Amino acid sequence: MDNFLTKSLQVISLVIFFALVPILFLSSYGTTLVWTILIPIIPIALLVIGFSRWRDICPLATISKITQNLQLIQKRKVPIWFEENFWFFQYFLLFIALSLRLITLNYNDNYLGAFFIIVIILALLINLFFTGKSWCNFFCPVGVVEKIYAISNAKNYTHNSACGTCTACKKNCPDIDLESNYWKEGIHKQKSFVFYSFAGMVLGFYLYFYLQSGSFSYYFSGEWTNDKVDMFSSGFFFATYIPLFIAAPLTLIIFSLISYYIFKFIEKQLWKKHIFKHENHETVEHRVKVLASFITFNIFYIFAGAPSYQHYPLIYGAFYFLVVSVSAIIFYKEIFRKEDYFIQERFALKIIKQWNSQKNVPTNLKEIYYTYMNENKSKTERLNIYKQTITELMQEGILNEKSMKILDKLREQIGISQRDHERIIAQIKLKNSNLFDATSERSAEKDYQENSYKQVVENALKEHVEIDAQHLQSLQKQFCISSEVHKKIMYNIINTNDKIHQDILDLLELMHELLILQNSIYEDKTREVYFLKYSIKNEFTFASKDLFSLLFTIYKEHKSTIKILLNISKGKSIDDNFILNRESLHFVDDAIASKMLLIYEDHNDLNKVVTQNNNETLVRELLLHDSIQIAIAALLNTKQNPKKYLSQNVLDRFCNSNDNEILELLYKLVYQTPKITTYERMMYLNFISLFKNLKFNDLHMLGQSTQVQKFTPQEYIIKQGDAGSTLFILIKGEAVVEIDSKEVATLGHREYFGEIALLGDTKRTASVKVTKETTALSITKRDFKLFLQNNPKVSTKVIKEIIKKLV
């Protein structure tokens, strides 16, 4: 529901935004609509729906995502200067925008329309060249206003507006966690200047209408929206010699500086006289920022919207009541907030997350710890949860050694002593020494970026989707992940994700079992046994593909060794200089290495002679094999004496299938019907060299397209000189080949002919006459071409086989 609402608001905001541009060019009321109706809605909407939701529905942010997700050129992060000075930089852009409003954009619809178009283009270009939400975080003039009004966005930790493909474009990203950004950003002087001076800038902006005209009625009447003002016209009513383009920005500068020094004086007095006892300077500064934000917000709404909304007293009264109420609530929620509470809450929430309680998370911090203690967790479990929580908070940059003292009382409440705490910190240092390095970069967005990349790779690995080197490199660029970080993530996946590690071991075990099976089959030269070996080999190929899709992704740095292992799995010979042993497999753990070495030994055993002289016992076992393909191939091996093999368990296994073709085969075997089923056709096709070793699904598709034809002695299957359009495969009987009425060869029940007709429009070069009752499979040129179109990789192999036979 929340996602649906967000998407709906996003669409509405986009429609309104795009409708503005033609309105500005075509209507004379464009500036009135923008400045006195729409713009006043934005700040109150921001506070009502919250910072993160606003960032999700902001039309300009949505538009900028078009190029944010494009990878047309190599993107990079913005220069470090922007990270260090973005408060001043965005504030300066806001100052330019407000100055332009007073100089020209307030009065000219066309200029305002052009301004919007330029801003859209800039947003698209910036996100095209720079990663992530660079436009929103560093360049958008409104971005700084959003953060002033939202302040710390206290307790709104259940929602964020983070990018799906996080590139860690900004340290302490507000879209991931605005409150963490607020407390941990570090550039307090810039932030304080902006918060303190913004009230003056807003007041100066609206007072300038009086300074320009000498009357407040000029603003409140809305007369200025239709005024024709030149940038060189008089800037002040009392100093007409100063032009507008100087007077407007000068007013903003003077009022901003006055405002800054007033709030700075308040901050110094509160700190100097210890008005807030037992509070540090950061908390005092925060409270002055809250006061400045509250005053700024209400100054804005004394003026904003008044020229239009005052004509509708009831709407204006309700609107202003909403403004005062919302700003008062935000003021109350923020004024008593401090960094200690923020860290304590995050610590509590991490514990709750680790703890996996079925109870609802209490909103009161004390209740969280009280509830936790009443869960009667063992001391060992509490220590493990505490350790994991501390590690995660440090990885996200929320906690450091200095701020850890904030947790003293809380850890005591959950039964963690000072001694236990010190021991846990020592353990964390041993495994994660970088967390205690002041020069190491740690932040929530860095953690989010790496986890997002890890999740994409893990999802592919879980699905056994092969990620080739080029695609992996593309993913690294997309997420801005360095090779060093990639190595760390891959190591983490293989050592902490038990499922993926177990998948590798299971696939190796399956391959080992299949090789043993293949080596256990007695080769009696029948088509049924040949198809059984083919099915086992095909299953081995699928398992091998899944395995190496995982290995090539996880151990990208050892690609050459993995390639050798792949060749070994295919039974290919390898370079004599390469010795497969534990040393050459040093990059995998012992369990994986042992199974790889075992498979190597299995391949060496494939040429050993099988001692038994039939497959009866093996077929009985394989009828219940996990792989339905192998079980079907085993079922075909019961053809001569099905009653001997088809026990109740076997019948139940196949009768419960939803596959009609399997049921068809079972029915044929039980009741000995003459019909040749699809799986039998596949067996016959696989036995001839033309279709040898096709993939199971390809062979199945080809089997479905074949037709069964019966011929009597002396009947011609094909005649010399006729147009050829069909391939025939003899599965029973005998025929002779005649050229110019002379017999030149005899064809048995395992041979095929007419293959030349599949390549083009040619006439038959020979006749084939039946000498015994004969059954054949036929494939028409049309069906064969359709098969090749759906399986283009097969076509080259089949054509090579045809040419080889002709030669």
Rounded Cα gap, residues 411 and 389, in angstroms: 11
Compare 183 and 603 and report the one with higher pLDDT.
183
Rounded Cα gap, residues 735 and 738, in angstroms: 10
Which residue bears the tokens 């060019």? 25
**Stretch 605-610: mean pLDDT, rounded?**
61
Task: Supply 44's token pair.
Answer: 């109150």
Q: For residues 733 and 749, is the Cβ–Cβ distance under 8 A?
A: yes
Residue 228 CA neighbour count, 13 Å, CB half: 1
**Is 90 exceeded by the pLDDT of residue 265?**
yes
Q: Could you tell me the pLDDT band of residue 1, with boundaries at 50, 70 and 90?
A: very low
SS3 for 152-217, per residue? Answer: CCCCCCCCCCCCCCCCCCCCCCCCCCHHHHHHHCCCHHHHHHHHHHHHHHHHHHHHHHHHHHCCCH
Top mean-pLDDT range of 198-212, 354-368, 726-740, 746-760: 198-212
**Stretch 98-118: mean pLDDT, rounded?**
91
**Is 70 exceeded by the pLDDT of residue 491?**
no
Residue 21 identity (one-letter amino acid): V
- Report the DSSP pairing between strands 726-732 and 774-780: antiparallel
The structural domains of the chain, with segments of one domain joined by +, span: 2-335, 339-431, 500-631, 676-806
Domain covering 676-806, topology: Jelly Rolls (2.60.120)
Which pLDDT score is estimated for 404?
A: 80
Secondary structure class of 778 (helix, strand, coil) = strand
Rounded Cα gap, residues 382 and 394, in angstroms: 18
Q: Could you tell me the pLDDT band of residue 220, with boundaries at 50, 70 and 90?
A: very high
Each residue of 477-488: pLDDT tens digit? 777 777 777 777
Rounded Cα gap, residues 236 and 119, in angstroms: 30
Q: For residues 734 and 771, is the Cβ–Cβ distance under 8 A?
A: yes
Rounded Cα gap, residues 749 and 699, in angstroms: 20
Where is 780: in which H helix or E strand? strand 774-780
Rounded Cα gap, residues 59 and 721, in angstroms: 73
**Stretch 317-322: mean pLDDT, rounded?**
92
Show the DSSP H helices in 103-163 as ranges. 109-129, 134, 141-150
Least confident of 286-300, 360-374, 380-394, 623-637: 360-374
DSSP 8-state symbol, 742: E
Rounded Cα gap, residues 112 and 30, in angstroms: 9
Nearest to 182 by CA among 195, 201, 163, 200: 195
Rounded Cα gap, residues 551 and 545, in angstroms: 10
Each residue of 223-263: pLDDT tens digit? 888 888 888 899 999 999 999 999 999 999 999 999 999 99
Rounded Cα gap, residues 640 and 629, in angstroms: 20
Which pLDDT score is estimated for 93?
A: 96
Each residue of 533-546: pLDDT tens digit? 999 999 988 888 88
Q: For residues 365 and 409, is the Cβ–Cβ distance under 8 A?
A: no
Compare 468 and 296 and report the one with higher pLDDT.
296
DSSP 8-state symbol, 743: E
Percent of the chain with pLDDT over 70: 89
Rounded Cα gap, residues 295 and 190, in angstroms: 19
Q: What letters, b where the CB count within 10 A reaches 16 and e where it falls short, cover 137-175?
A: bbbbbbbbbbbbbbbbbbebbeebbbbebbbbbbbbbbb
Report the largest interatomic distance among the alpha carbons of the chain, rounded to a whole angstrom: 122
Secondary structure class of 745 (helix, strand, coil) = strand
Which pLDDT score is estimated for 351?
A: 73
Each residue of 681-696: pLDDT tens digit? 999 998 888 787 788 8
Each residue of 11-63: pLDDT tens digit? 888 888 888 888 888 877 888 889 999 999 999 999 998 898 888 889 888 88
Q: What letters, b where the CB count within 10 A reaches 16 and e where it falls short, cover 418-451?
A: eebbeebbeebeeebeebeeeeeebbbbbbbbbe
Which pLDDT score is estimated for 365?
A: 57
348 Cβ contact list (under 8 Å, min separation 6):
365, 368, 369, 410
Which pLDDT score is estimated for 44?
A: 93
**Stretch 457-462: mean pLDDT, rounded?**
70
Q: Could you tell me the pLDDT band of residue 149, with boundaries at 50, 70 and 90?
A: very high
Nearest to 752 by CA among 687, 696, 695: 687
Task: Supply 682's token pair.
Answer: 């596949």
**Is 80 exceeded by the pLDDT of residue 402?**
no
Nearest to 305 by CA among 34, 35, 38, 36: 36
**Is 80 exceeded by the pLDDT of residue 148?**
yes
**Stretch 383-406: mean pLDDT, rounded?**
81
Secondary structure class of 738 (helix, strand, coil) = strand
The burial of 639, by beta-carbon neighbours within 10 Å (0-12 exposed, 13-18 middle, 19 or more buried), is given as middle
C-alpha dihedral sign at 450, 453, 456, 459 = negative
Say what the alpha-carbon torsion angle 556, 559, 561, 563 is, to the nearest 10 degrees: 130
Least confident of 93-102, 182-191, 379-388, 495-504: 495-504
What is the length of the chain? 807
Each residue of 550-576: pLDDT tens digit? 787 777 778 888 888 888 887 777 777
Report angle CA 550, 162, 296 to the nearest 5 degrees.
Answer: 170
Q: What is the mean pLDDT of the chain?
A: 84
Where is 423: in which H helix or E strand? helix 418-431
333 Cβ contact list (under 8 Å, min separation 6):
154, 155
Say what the alpha-carbon torsion angle 697, 699, 700, 704 is, to the nearest 10 degrees: 140
SS3 for 200-262, per residue? Answer: HHHHHHHHHHHHHHCCCHHHHCCHHHHCCCCCCCECCCCCCCCEHHHHHHHHHHHHHHHHHHH
**Is 60 exceeded by the pLDDT of residue 359?**
no
309 Cβ contact list (under 8 Å, min separation 6):
36, 37, 40, 315, 316, 319
Q: For residues 787 and 701, is the Cβ–Cβ distance under 8 A?
A: yes
Q: For residues 794 and 788, is the Cβ–Cβ distance under 8 A?
A: yes
Q: What letters, b where the CB count within 10 A reaches 16 and e where it falls short, cover 733-754?
A: bbbebbeeeeeeeebebeebbb
Top mean-pLDDT range of 288-297, 463-472, 534-543, 680-689: 288-297
Residue 501 identity (one-letter amino acid): H
Q: Could you tell me the pLDDT band of residue 464, with boundaries at 50, 70 and 90?
A: low
Which phi-psi region, left, alpha or beta, contains residue 162 (left: φ > 0; alpha: ψ -120 to 50)? Answer: beta
Each residue of 628-675: pLDDT tens digit? 999 999 999 998 888 888 888 888 888 988 889 999 999 988 888 888
Which pLDDT score is estimated for 601?
A: 81
Which pLDDT score is estimated for 698?
A: 86
402 Cβ contact list (under 8 Å, min separation 6):
none
